[in-house]
A and B are shown apart, each in its own frame.
Chain A
Amino acid sequence: MAAAGVGQQWVLVEMVQAFYEAPTYHLILEGILILWIIRLLFSKTYKLQERSDLTPKEKEELIEEWQPEPLVPPVPKDHPALNYNIVSGPPTHIITVNGKECINFASFNFLGLLDNENVKTAAQASLKKYGVGTCGPRGFYGTFDVHLELEERLAKFMRTEEAIIYSYGFATIASAIPAYSKRGDIVFVDEAACFAIQKGLQASRSNIKLFKHNDMADLERLLKEQETEDQKNPRKARVTRRFIVVEGLYMNTGDICPLPELIKLKYKYKVRIFLEESLSFGVLGEHGRGITEHFGINIDDIDLISANMENSLASIGGFCCGRSFIIDHQRLSGQGYCFSASLPPLLAAAAIEALNIMEDNPGIFQTLRAKCERIHKALQGISGLKVVGETFSPALHLQLEESHGSRENDVKLLKRVVDYCMNSGIALTQACYLEKEEKCLPPPSIRVVVTVEQTEQELDKAASLIKEAAQSVLN
């Protein structure tokens, strides 16, 4: 081995000469050493498992001894999530929950399109032509002409180059994020981001940096930190993609994201922005195009917009839109797109018709906004409950002003408020979360959803009823 070390300094000729001059035993010894090195290089690294010297009998005993945990722990009989509300009949403006007729303040049917006759007729026509299922993923004869039409219409509606549809709202952003952001990339994400975003981030295995909810200073701090980090290792920085993932209107808080400031940060620090608009699409802006229209921002400044078609459009599924350069990539890399059956054509047809209605009645968004503002105002000043969310958010949260001991207690209290309202004909629901799974668990809340179908009297009635319920339960 030492000879090899010295050998490096020799010129080639000398090496060959030395090789000829070396005694045979020396060559044999070196040969063996070389073979040994090769063996070491190519043999498997030793495995811990193989070092145990257990006899087969001992192994059998161990196997005999091992007791796994039960597949699932038992669920307590009184778990609030175990007994669902049963809705009989359509979940529209008037809804029958657990046998009681109520006005619906719980479903995200913002524009009231679930019950719309035109939408139903379009879906019926599609059902007559295509049947229900597609029997295949988009790649394998699961692409229908309606899918292409819907994608084109969505792209046109949003004024982007391209749109791509998914068959499940949740899977949309959860598939889109890991299509771009990979291991080693960095994602800056608002801590109030919804669960679908969290799952998408987890699937991407990227480096995740949470910033405080809507706190641009905190985001900038993180971006600056990253910038100093990058200066230390510019080679790595050149291949590390960065993304900011935010929601237009936050599902968990009802807040709007400060998009203009985000755009500034985007260009300053060269970070791409992914925007989840499930709550703001078909709600904000003059034509319902969402938060970009609300702020008057060039939509091309946002790298990717995703939204589901399960709220305003009252269908099923989701879509992403943006420039072709970005969106097209998902057609081969979006897992929920490639590996899942495509959207049933009747649901696509329903979404197309819903888009038609949105385009034909731009006034609908003003109506919705006025109603949101009305109930937001009416719900102020309830003792014990505070309203969280923008005045124009169609889904707002009622949180307890102060906690009554534990989360469990709070949930129970809010449930009593909900039950009280339900008994008097207003259907409400608490916002449900998986408490152990959420990254930053939002406080328990009642979610009040406004739709254009609710009349002003109904809005006032709901507000006064909630006030009454809070008074009787909380005081």
Chain B
Amino acid sequence: MNPFSSGTRLRDMIRAIRACKTAAEERAVVRKECAAIRASINENDQEYRHRNLAKLMFIHMLGYPTHFGQMECLKLIASAGFPEKRIGYLGLMLLLDERQEVLMLVTNSLKQDLNHTNQYIVGLALCALGNICSAEMARDLAPEVERLLQFRDPNIRKKAALCSIRIIKKVPDLAENFINPAAALLKEKHHGVLITGVQLCTDLCKVSSEALEHFRKKCTEVLVKTLKDVANSPYAPEYDVGGITDPFLHIRLLRFLRVLGQGDADASDSMNDILAQVATKTESNKNAGNAILYECVETIMSIEDNGGLRVLAINILGRFLANRDNNIRYVALNMLMKAISVDAQAVQRHRATILECVKDSDASIRKRALELVYLLINESNVKPLTKELIDYLEVSDQEFKGDLTAKICSIVEKFSPEKIWYIDQMLKVLSEAGNFVKDEVCHALIVVISNAPDLHGYTVRALYKAFQASSEQESLVRVAVWCIGEYGDMLVKNVGMLDVEDPITVTESDAVDVAEITIKRHTSDLTTKAMALIALLKLSSRFPSCSERIRDIIVQQKGSLVLELQQRSLEFNSILEKHRNIRSALVERMPVLDEATFSGRRAGSVPTTLSPSTMASVKVPNGVVKSAAAPLVDLLDLTSDDAPAPSSSSGDFLNDILGVDLSPASAHSGASQAAKNGTDVLMDILSLGTPPAQSSSSTPDIFSLSQNQKSPVASLDGLSTSSPVSARAASSQAASSIIDLLDGLGPSPPAPENNGPAYPSVVAFESSSLRVMFDFLKSPGNPQITVIKATFTNLSSNVYADFVFQAAVPKFLQLHLDPASGNTLPANSSGTVTQTLRVTNSQHGKKSLVMRIRIAYKINGKDVLEEGQINNFPREL
């Protein structure tokens, strides 16, 4: 006999484990037991096999590995006696899951046991099959289970029914085999069989529309009658729960009726009476009764419309909502969410109660209520509801603030009736729970602020005040610092005073204080500090009187341990000291940020039919790195993750000099003269975002550009100016001017070409091998339509065959492509292919054209693909 296995019984082992005082002791006991069990397994000890497995199950429950016992389960299952099988199947279900290969080995034993003469053994096999079978086993054993649905003993029939559910979930193709036997179960009297039969039918309907049709036609009547019988049955002690006969059966019948009634007027009609009876007669003082009512309400809401019943259902929910039991209130909120789509008005009536639930002490209820409130908000009630929610934000639990803040921000964004309200609410949220506000929300707020020029002064003052009150909220600090950097002068001079404001006196030095505090506070994170540095740079030109102090603060950061800050500090210091004359131009106010671009970007993708793979950066004639990704979100990020490797020489160069993580250069800069390029890229280094149109009007001072570039329209229009100049010129010049910028002042770059006529031709795309020119023609009567003639020229020495040009445009544009003049492009620019495009701009005058293109052709039978984005369309198109 094995010296180990002789020892402990299961009971003794459990006792020994329970007596352990420390985890280490417990581990030791378990290790010893496991060693004994392994030894016993190795000796193939039959006598103690079932005891060993029982011990292993206990050890497994404690969380120790027990895989070595898996084969023991199979051996026990294969043995003849019931006790061995019983423990073997239990072990199988506990120690294995359906993903384990070992499970396949048991299929054969299962098959034998399903055909066993002892019904308890059949029951064990069915139970194991129903709990852990895999798809393959389901396929193999389905015929056995199907047969057992008609077994003489009802206890086997009910097990077989539930086992069938698992089988059809694993292998939906098998569903049709089960339809008829399942329907037969619905006529049974035995509650167990009835419950499981109804459940099987419900699940069959989910996987097979054929089953649904069948049951709807054949069984609706029977089910209604069964439900009637159960609902009206006299006291039955065996099934009684709190004065109701078999609530489980009630609920399953109601659920099945819901499936049958959904989308079928006749079936719905035939169950109206019984639903009304259940809804009115069921006792609601016990949980069981409420469970039935709850299910009944859901069925009423889901089946085809019956006005009277719905009123009844909503009333029940109203009662639930007023209940003092939290469980009942929880399910009421849950159900009201579904009821909103059916009868929003009725749900609105409970708004006040629901709002109270948002403030409940129970997190589950709060969460449900908050989602419900979110659905209830519309234009008419947004103001009072938001106020309530924001008021509550002050006192809510820390862990709830995240959810609550996210919802409030989303509500405010979605429904804000006016900008000032939006800004006000966001400022309140930022001051209350700024640490919970997501970055995108801050970005969105800044875009909105930037788009509300008449509120700049108001906003910056409000932010200043908020900062004084609660400077611990990171997001608030960021927005405040950004705004003070941009609109600091408005803060000091009280520009754009609104009637509602109290005037405040802020000196220039106070404004600088904000940035200084932010930089010096150790809790500020890197992004915030970096933003404060930029704000300081901006303020240095806004407040000449403080520039010395600002320089000092910036210089102090030279010693920062964070590379990013140190680098910025050095760069900015160099700007302040050596390039005083370009400083004012560099730190001009940001152009108005384009809301549409931003929201498009947030929505996850720019509306285009081309795949995202086309988003890679493309070199475009004017030498600026064009990235398909709009740069706005990078506004606040210093190290943009998606910055494409800069491919233009100027970008590379700068990257080398400064080693900065370049954020993608503006996709909007259509400007093409060298000088502006220089500024663009520098701007990007400073993360100031897109090159402002205004800066193009001031750059000439530095670079002595010709005056005609300073068209007033361009400087007012803000973003996405496309100076209509054809210039492939200047990538090298761009680079050179930047070197100059850093070393001293550069020579004046060549003056750009003069503006052409109203719609000059542009080089839409150029690579080393291909050039695309666009000529524009406007149809006189309809300004929205532009006819573009695209001319393709082959710059290489190979002939391009199968030449195909494709284009994609954002949703506000419509594009029509005429057939091209040919599909072969001769080499060495010796011929061209032309193609006509017709673009309709539904936002004519507001937005200019943009287009993404893809050109495919074959060189010597090899496929070549070129892609690019065109942003340099003349603005007026």
Same complex origin of A and B: no
Seen from chain A, the residues whose Cβ lies within 8 Å of a Cβ on chain B are none
